[in-house]
Amino acid sequence: MRIHLPKKHLADVLSQVERVVPTRSSTPGLHLVHLYNRDNQQLVFQGSNMDIDIEAILNADIEASDVDHFSVPAQVFGQIVRALPGELVELSLDDNELNISSGSFATSLQLADASTSPSLDFPDDYQGTISSSILASAFSHVRYATAVAEYQAIFRGVKLELSDNHTRAIATDGFRLAYYHIETSSGMDANVVIPAKAVDEMTRLLAEGDVQLHVADNQLSLATGAYKLNVKLMEGTFPDYERVIPADFIVSMLIDSKQLTETVKRVALMADQNANNRVDLFLKDGTLQITAEGGYGHSQEALEVSQEGSESQIALAYNAAYLIDALATVSGDMRVSFSGTTSPSLLTSLQDPSYLAMVVPLRTS
Amino acid sequence: MRIHLPKKHLADVLSQVERVVPTRSSTPGLHLVHLYNRDNQQLVFQGSNMDIDIEAILNADIEASDVDHFSVPAQVFGQIVRALPGELVELSLDDNELNISSGSFATSLQLADASTSPSLDFPDDYQGTISSSILASAFSHVRYATAVAEYQAIFRGVKLELSDNHTRAIATDGFRLAYYHIETSSGMDANVVIPAKAVDEMTRLLAEGDVQLHVADNQLSLATGAYKLNVKLMEGTFPDYERVIPADFIVSMLIDSKQLTETVKRVALMADQNANNRVDLFLKDGTLQITAEGGYGHSQEALEVSQEGSESQIALAYNAAYLIDALATVSGDMRVSFSGTTSPSLLTSLQDPSYLAMVVPLRTS
């Protein structure tokens, strides 16, 4: 087969495929991208890393020949295409070579044996549909709260709840929790836990328009624009998060997200990184005093806030990084609500009521 | 003492000092920056990593007290200053603490014991003077050709020749050489070999105006703007580079630097990285053909060039990275002159005749 394509389209697709396909792998053929001629009108790209499969489709005018599919190393193919001198690329197949030419440049890339590669299967029909931007927003607000390394693997995933009347994403590592809830339905009913790495790849592909979703056989599939993904789901029981989110608060304050973030970052420079990066908060009479101390010395800053609640003051401590993370995905005024000195605190955004973050204070005694 | 300073000035100076002073060190006190009150008018900063000493001076209105100097960890001090909320900083000394305050933020940094720190000595008088931009240009044109790891340590340095009528910088790793020669004198006479890392720090500090130079006791000292550096020189004999630069050529070509660079980069994607990243050049009848082949396949590109010389053609091979490096610091038309298929080739810039690069071809048989 022979194909003429704009370099940019080919480079964009290969960049996405390269994000999934590993550069090297002990599994034979896993570093390959497989290309197919579909009806002389579409060039189909497929690749996998065993946990995530990707398919991309480029519309193209394809001159058919006996050979209608081939496999080449994804990274090398991508590097060549990005370096091409012209705006247009010609791909043509010899017996055992892919010829890539553009302007006065030409290269011949040896075809790889794909007989040992896993065969990939993407659904034709999907169960539900939701706006790409809503799903991307849900993922990007909660992703930070997944555990990096935890004895329970399930903490390294994001729970996605799809129901008749809402869509919800939750992540927690046991010390903090992030939650994003939208009253928009995908028209399907499923509760799945997606590995954090797969959440990142899904988020990256979610651009304009809608995304179609499908859950079957411990796999979540999505289709958006020119791309399809299959994602292997996590097994196990996600913690009963609703039980731990407090509903009663003794004190709360309103404060600008950016101001609180910058102050915590500044004060925490003196915090002891070997002691949970501890910062102390003392709220009284509309003044929030933030302090830290460690081996290098101590620091403090006071902020004026709008204070409410039955108690006149509260003193408690947090891991500074948890506060900073919880504030990173929102802007504008935040309400920080304290349920007690040892029970979880809630951070909610006045601009985006879909978002809620919970942080457990440090034990200070 | 008590000092009021613009945050920006203090942050700039600390960033430069932090580049030299190590974050951690097994040598006691090496991670510290030492500050002195000089005549109640200047705040003097000093630090070292044993190979490079740095001094910086900030003009400031200093309220004197009994204690007129102190030492604190450079990195922590720098981090705090960069995070300060206000435009102005107040520094004040307690018995054993440096108080840093800005806006509503205040921190107290414990003073460190500097009694074990090496004492630093910067010259008051300098032997020579040259334009900072000329010296920076000389260094930045040749730095790339230093050896990364080589059995002869001297290859890891840049030779600086200061004479009555010229200033010259040279670097070589035995396979290629870079040379920068200016008919401008610093008014002093010295030949020194400077470690590549020290060259980088010197280049970074060379901004506007002139730089003063001094060589004594196997140490190069420089003073430019608010900064002084002492740099430990390398010992040993730098190779006799003038002997190896060829003067007679059988063929040469004129070609745009950027065009040649991009073509070599593109073609070299197919080169075998385990075989010196080899690219082949074939020049004939005003056409330069560049080819490469390796495990993934092969590639080629042809460029029109302006050709001269007694021979009608030449075929030879290079390490692609050496060609790319030699072209990276120049733009516009280059003359590439070939002395033979196994003897060194020269690259010179028509726009900047001060620069010359030599590359030894690969043995192709």
- pLDDT for B310-347, tens place per residue? 999 999 999 999 999 999 999 999 999 999 999 999 99
Closest CA relative to residue A184, chosen from A137, A223, A254, A115: A137
- The alpha carbon of A313 is separated from its chain's Cα centroid by a whole number of angstroms, namely 38
The predicted model scores a pTM of 0.91
What does the pLDDT look like over A98-118, one tens digit per residue? 999 999 999 999 999 888 787
Q: Residue A237, Cβ neighbours under 10 Å: how many?
A: 8
The answer, yes or no, to whether residue A119 has pLDDT greater than 90, is no
**Contact A300/B107, CB-based, under 8 Å?**
yes
On whether the CB atoms of residues A98 and A107 are closer than 8 A, the answer is: no
**Contact A83/B266, CB-based, under 8 Å?**
yes
H helices of chain A, where? Answer: 7-20, 74-83, 132-142, 196-205, 241-244, 257-267, 320-328
| d(C-alpha A2, C-alpha B185), whole Å | 63
Q: Which residues pair with B315 in a beta bridge?
A: B282
| d(C-alpha B165, C-alpha B22), whole Å | 38
In B, what residues contact A, Cβ < 8 A? 73, 76, 79-80, 83-85, 97-98, 103-110, 262-263, 265-267, 269-270, 295-303
Within 8 A of A302 by CB-CB distance, chain B residues are 104
pLDDT of residue B244: 93
Within 8 A of B301 by CB-CB distance, chain A residues are 85, 103-106
Q: Residue B191, Cβ neighbours under 10 Å: how many?
A: 12
Q: For chain B, give the percent of residues with pLDDT over 90.
A: 90
On whether the CB atoms of residues A307 and A285 are closer than 8 A, the answer is: yes
On whether the CB atoms of residues A292 and A321 are closer than 8 A, the answer is: no
| d(C-alpha B46, C-alpha A337), whole Å | 47
Within 8 A of A95 by CB-CB distance, chain B residues are none
pLDDT of residue B67: 83
Q: Output DSSP code: residue B19.
A: H
Q: Which residues pair with A195 in a beta bridge?
A: A157
Name the band, by pLDDT with cuts 50, 70 and 90, for residue A365.
low
Within 8 A of B267 by CB-CB distance, chain A residues are 105, 107
Q: Output DSSP code: residue B60.
A: -
Structure tokens at A55: 């398919």
Distance from CA of B90 to the nearest CA of A (A): 14
Cα distances (angstroms) measured from residue A295 to each of A233, A254, B106: 44, 32, 16
**Contact A108/B297, CB-based, under 8 Å?**
yes
Question: Rounded to 5 degrees, what are φ and ψ at B198?
Answer: -70, -35
Q: What string of DSSP letters covers A145-209?
A: GS-SS-SSGGGGEEEEEE-SS-EEEEEE-SSEEEEEEES---S--EEEEEEHHHHHHHHHH--SS
pLDDT of residue B219: 97
Name the band, by pLDDT with cuts 50, 70 and 90, for residue A135.
very high
**Contact B262/A104, CB-based, under 8 Å?**
no
Closest CA relative to residue B29, chosen from B119, B114, B111, B97: B114
**Contact B110/A79, CB-based, under 8 Å?**
no
Closest CA relative to residue A2, chosen from A74, A64, A69: A64
**Contact A269/B301, CB-based, under 8 Å?**
no
What does the pLDDT look like over A198-229, one tens digit per residue? 999 999 999 889 999 999 999 999 999 999 99
On whether the CB atoms of residues B271 and B295 are closer than 8 A, the answer is: no
Q: What is the dihedral of CA A179, A183, A184, A187, to 10 degrees?
A: 100
Nearest to A297 among B105, B109, B299 (CB): B109
- Pairing verdict, β B2-6 and A355-359: unpaired
- The alpha carbon of B134 is separated from its chain's Cα centroid by a whole number of angstroms, namely 13
Q: Region B148-168: what's the mean pLDDT?
A: 91
**Contact A109/B267, CB-based, under 8 Å?**
no
Q: For chain A, give the percent of residues with pLDDT over 90.
A: 90
Within 8 A of A269 by CB-CB distance, chain B residues are 76, 79-80, 83, 107
Distance from CA of A92 to the nearest CA of B (A): 14
Closest CA relative to residue A291, chosen from A319, A313, A271, A262: A271
Q: What is the dihedral of CA A89, A94, A97, A103, to 10 degrees?
A: -20
Q: Output DSSP code: residue B183.
A: S
Phi-psi region of A143 (alpha: psi -120 to 50; beta: other; left: phi over 0): alpha
Within 8 A of B299 by CB-CB distance, chain A residues are 80, 105-108
Q: Give every CB contact of residue B82 below 8 A, 6+ residues apart in sequence.
A: B11, B14, B15
Mean pLDDT of chain B: 95
| d(C-alpha B121, C-alpha B119), whole Å | 7
What does the pLDDT look like over A23-58, one tens digit per residue? 998 888 999 999 999 999 999 999 999 999 999 999
Q: For chain B, give the percent of residues with pLDDT over 70.
A: 99
Helices and strands per DSSP (H, E), number in chain A? 7, 26
Task: For chain A, give the number of residues.
Answer: 365
Structure tokens at A244: 């731990």
The answer, yes or no, to whether residue B26 has pLDDT greater than 70, is yes
Amino acid (1-letter code) at residue B96: N
| d(C-alpha B136, C-alpha B224), whole Å | 12
Residue to mutate among A107, A110, A261, A273, with most B CBs inside 10 A, is A107
Within 8 A of B106 by CB-CB distance, chain A residues are 299-301
| d(C-alpha A87, C-alpha A76), whole Å | 19
In A, what residues contact B, Cβ < 8 A? 73, 76, 79-80, 83-85, 97-98, 103-110, 262-263, 265-267, 269-270, 295-303
| d(C-alpha A45, C-alpha A26), whole Å | 22
Please calculate the CA angle A227-A229-A235 and round it to the nearest 5 degrees.
165
Cα distances (angstroms) measured from residue B241 to each of B138, B173, B343: 16, 11, 14
pLDDT of residue A149: 81
Q: Region B287-291: what's the mean pLDDT?
A: 98
| d(C-alpha B78, C-alpha B62), whole Å | 20
Within 8 A of A301 by CB-CB distance, chain B residues are 85, 103-106
The answer, yes or no, to whether residue A242 has pLDDT greater than 70, is yes
H helices of chain B, where? Answer: 7-20, 74-83, 132-142, 196-205, 241-244, 257-268, 320-328
H helices of B115-256, where? Answer: 132-142, 196-205, 241-244
**Contact B83/A300, CB-based, under 8 Å?**
no
Nearest to B107 among A80, A84, A299 (CB): A299
| d(C-alpha A53, C-alpha A221), whole Å | 9
The answer, yes or no, to whether residue B4 has pLDDT greater than 70, is yes
The answer, yes or no, to whether residue A150 has pLDDT greater than 70, is no
Nearest CA in chain A to B107: A299
Nearest to A262 among B85, B97, B299 (CB): B85
**Contact B300/A105, CB-based, under 8 Å?**
yes
| d(C-alpha A302, C-alpha A325), whole Å | 21
Name the band, by pLDDT with cuts 50, 70 and 90, for residue B150.
low
Q: Output DSSP code: residue B305.
A: -
Within 8 A of A109 by CB-CB distance, chain B residues are 270, 296-297
Mean pLDDT of chain A: 95
Q: Residue A90, Cβ neighbours under 10 Å: how many?
A: 14
Residue to mutate among B266, B300, B305, B324, with most A CBs inside 10 A, is B266
Helix, strand and coil percent figures for chain B, each rounded to 5: 20, 45, 35
Within 8 A of A267 by CB-CB distance, chain B residues are 105, 107
